[in-house]
């Protein structure tokens, strides 16, 4: 006859053995620094700092792969600064990574009644989050999508430099005191940037044509009047790396196109405004298509005019609303693999002759 106490003791010993094989890691992500806290059996080790650079990422991965047992890492989604680290961790053997919403991390810290806030404490809270909360592994986007986003963002950076250079050239040419050499050098800079942008854009299009999912998505969204080659590359590069299960509303929030409401008590009540708390690249990519479509696509033009005439929106507000609805439309098109339907976007009123 077995002793009940022995069974209980054996159960606890087994549980402890299993826990010892589990490491939870919290990484507080900053633009320049990464603070890492490893937690074993609920006890946090001393925080370590690494540079937020490719070499810093490799150093973190090297140190974590030395840990015995399974390792689960929790980081916050902090704009662009967490992405490369998340990709590197997801590719490492024996490491699982979870990327959580900063609000979830903030609320978890409040639940723990954390009184102080430092990078080390934030990292420890993230490690505790990975230990206590359901672990949802981050799904790494396809390598082609990651490459496309890198090209697109480089195009955006070069385009900004080109605009600045062209503005400088205009200012230099407006005075006869500017030496010809200075003007020629600025013209060469504009031409060089043009060449770099064209090369990257051609490479991005080649990449899109080589990947079936990207190719299909590209054909679908360029079917919307207003979305041409350049805009399509920008839009796809940002949207195709997002998790497949995100809803249209989550896309809108991720892009910072959701309305921000200011309402407190009876004295503070402001008009809702676009939050702009999100991915600026999506907003930039959608602005010109929304502007063009509001002029040349009948249903989108009708919706734009309806917002101004019937809802009293200003032109810029109406454009932002078109951007938001375009994002909803693109979400539906990519999920259902159907072409743009103007009537579903906005049904034009039927004109009746009296």
Q: What is the mean pLDDT of the chain?
A: 87
Q: Do the beta carbons of residue 282 and residue 235 sit within 8 Å?
A: yes
The strand pair at 22-29 and 70-76 is best described as parallel
Task: Give ∠ CA 119-26-101 in degrees, rounded to 5.
Answer: 85
CA nearest 15: which of 53, 41, 39, 34?
A: 41
Q: Do the beta carbons of residue 293 and residue 301 sit within 8 Å?
A: yes
Q: Could you tell me which residues are beta bridge partners of residue 22?
A: 70
CA nearest 148: which of 236, 17, 258?
A: 236
Neighbours of 258 (CB within 10 A): 19
- How many Å is the maximal CA-CA distance in the chain? 105
Q: Do the beta carbons of residue 245 and residue 311 sit within 8 Å?
A: no
Backbone angles phi, psi at 261, to 5 degrees: -100, 130
- Cα–Cα distance measured from residue 127 to residue 67, given in angstroms and rounded to the nearest whole number: 15
Helix (H, G, I), strand (E, B) or coil at 40: strand
What crossing angle do the helices spanning 229-239 and 212-221 adopt, rounded to 10°? 130
pLDDT band at 77 (very low <50, low <70, confident <90, very high): confident
Q: Do the beta carbons of residue 127 and residue 42 sit within 8 Å?
A: no
Quick: pLDDT tens for 242-288: 888 889 998 998 888 887 544 444 444 445 566 666 788 999 999 99
- Flag whether pLDDT at 344 surpasses 50: yes
Quick: pLDDT tens for 164-216: 999 999 999 999 999 999 999 999 999 999 999 999 999 999 999 999 999 99
Q: Is the dihedral of CA 279, 231, 198, 190 positive or negative?
A: negative
Determine the pLDDT at residue 276.
Answer: 66
Number of H helices, E strands in the chain: 14, 8
Give the side-chain half-sphere CA count within 13 A for 278: 22
Q: Could you tell me which residues are beta bridge partners of residue 301?
A: none
Higher pLDDT, 171 or 113: 171
CA nearest 292: which of 326, 259, 268, 341?
A: 326
- Cα–Cα distance measured from residue 38 to residue 66, given in angstroms and rounded to the nearest whole number: 12
pLDDT band at 79 (very low <50, low <70, confident <90, very high): low
Determine the pLDDT at residue 279.
Answer: 83
pLDDT band at 21 (very low <50, low <70, confident <90, very high): low
């Amino acid at each position: 006859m077995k002793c009940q106490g022995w069974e209980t003791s054996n159960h606890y010993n087994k549980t402890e053995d299993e826990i010892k094989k589990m490491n939870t890691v919290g990484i507080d992500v900053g633009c320049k620094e990464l603070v890492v806290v490893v937690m074993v059996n609920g006890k946090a080790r001393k925080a370590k700092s690494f540079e937020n650079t490719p070499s810093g990422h490799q150093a973190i991965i090297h140190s974590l792969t030395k840990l015995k047992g399974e390792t689960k890492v929790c980081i916050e989604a902090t704009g662009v600064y967490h992405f490369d680290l998340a990709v590197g961790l997801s590719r490492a053997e024996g490491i699982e990574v979870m990327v959580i919403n900063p609000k979830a991390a903030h609320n978890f810290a409040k639940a723990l009644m954390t009184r102080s806030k430092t990078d080390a404490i934030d990292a420890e809270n993230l490690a505790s989050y990975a230990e206590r909360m359901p672990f949802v592994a981050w799904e790494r986007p396809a390598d082609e999508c990651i490459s496309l986003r890198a090209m697109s963002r480089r195009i955006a950076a070069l385009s900004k430099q080109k605009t600045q250079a062209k503005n400088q050239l205009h200012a230099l040419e407006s005075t006869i005191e500017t030496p010809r050499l200075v003007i020629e050098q600025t013209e060469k800079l504009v031409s060089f940037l043009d060449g770099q942008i064209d090369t990257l854009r051609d490479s991005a299009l080649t990449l899109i044509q080589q990947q079936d999912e990207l190719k299909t998505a590209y054909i679908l969204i360029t079917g919307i009047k207003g979305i041409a080659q350049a805009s399509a590359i920008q839009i796809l590069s940002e949207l195709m790396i997002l998790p497949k299960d995100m809803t249209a509303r989550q896309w809108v929030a991720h892009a910072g196109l959701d309305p921000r409401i200011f309402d407190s008590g009876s004295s503070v009540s402001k008009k809702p405004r676009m939050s702009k708390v999100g991915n600026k690249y999506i907003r930039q990519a959608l602005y010109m298509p929304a502007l063009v479509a509001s002029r040349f696509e009948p249903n989108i033009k009708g919706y734009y005019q309806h917002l101004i005439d019937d809802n009293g929106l200003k032109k810029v507000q109406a454009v932002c609303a078109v951007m938001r609805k375009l994002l909803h439309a693109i979400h539906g098109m990519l999920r259902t693999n159907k072409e743009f339907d103007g009537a579903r976007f906005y049904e034009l009123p039927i004109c009746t002759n009296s």
